Amino acid sequence: MQVLTANRLIDGEAVWLAADHSWTDTIDAADIARDANAAQRLADIGEASRRANAVVDVNLIDIDLIAGRIAPKRLRERIRASGPTNRPDLGKQARPLAAIAA
């Protein structure tokens, strides 16, 4: 399973592509691709958004579903989804709709 991630151009915020084709700043709201076709569809939408200069650094990342929540396989992506592990007061983990801890 994969989700599509990027950084927002204007402020660099880590974002994920949601089902309504908008970019969401919590990974929980990301649209999950369960097969290669779905992944390609996400990538195409992301590429169009990149060309429209909404985001940069667009990437498909591998995830698991753990207790119904999206958990990236790589630590790097888990940290992007949460924030610096030494600063729980910063990044997405500090916000009310906290992402999973890295």
- Selected range binding another protein among 16-24, 26-34, 41-49, 82-90, rule: CB under 8 A: 82-90
Q: Alpha-carbon distance 18 to 29, whole Å?
A: 6
x/- string (CB under 8 A) for another protein, residues 5-44? --x-xxxxxx------------------------------
Task: For another protein, give the closer residue by CB, 19 or 64.
Answer: 64
Does the footprint of another protein cover residue 69 (CB under 8 A)?
no
Contact criterion met (CB below 8 Å) for 29 and 23:
no
